[in-house]
Amino acid sequence: MKGLFKSKPRTPVDIVRQTRDLLIYADQSSASLSDSKREEKMAELAKNIRELKSVLYGNSESEPVSEACAQLTQEFFRENTLRLLIFCLSQLNVEARKDATQVVANLQRQQVNSRLIASGYLEKNTDLLDTLIAGYENIDMALHYGVMLRECIRHQAR
């Protein structure tokens, strides 16, 4: 009976979509919302980012699955989730920032159909590189923005 009510695992696409929705919430949430509700949403966002990292890097029990990584990568860049993540990075807790930084770094290396999707995305959205450079001015965020910027530069299409 125990397994009867177990929820089915979410797909990488589902995780990215929910993460995007939570990032939009974080970006647009106003002071009128209760602090407990905001904390709950931010905790859920941190959990989702950890799940994204787990899909991309694997975990102690399994290696990353290339098809899941490809699905995640395509969905991540389809609806500007990278942009949202970069703009909301300062609102995340320290652990979520670290995970988000690792997710962005890994996405720069992900090839889908022998193409670096992230590189093409950044060519069309060069303002994100300006945002990452400007992030160096914030002492608390400089490390995270710096890692992201270096990965974006390192894996650009030739």
pLDDT confidence of residue 89: 92
Report yes or no: 92 and 41 within 8 Å, Cβ to Cβ.
Answer: no
CATH fold for domain 10-154: Leucine-rich Repeat Variant (1.25.10)
End-to-end, the C-alpha distance of the chain in Å comes to: 55
pLDDT confidence of residue 84: 94
| pLDDT less than 50: residues of the chain | none
What's the pLDDT tens digit per position in 31-77? 555 778 888 999 999 999 999 999 999 888 889 899 999 999 999 99
Residue 100: is it exposed, middle or buried by C-beta count within 10 angstroms (0-12/13-18/19+)? buried
Question: Looking at this protein, which amino acid is placed at residue 40?
Answer: E
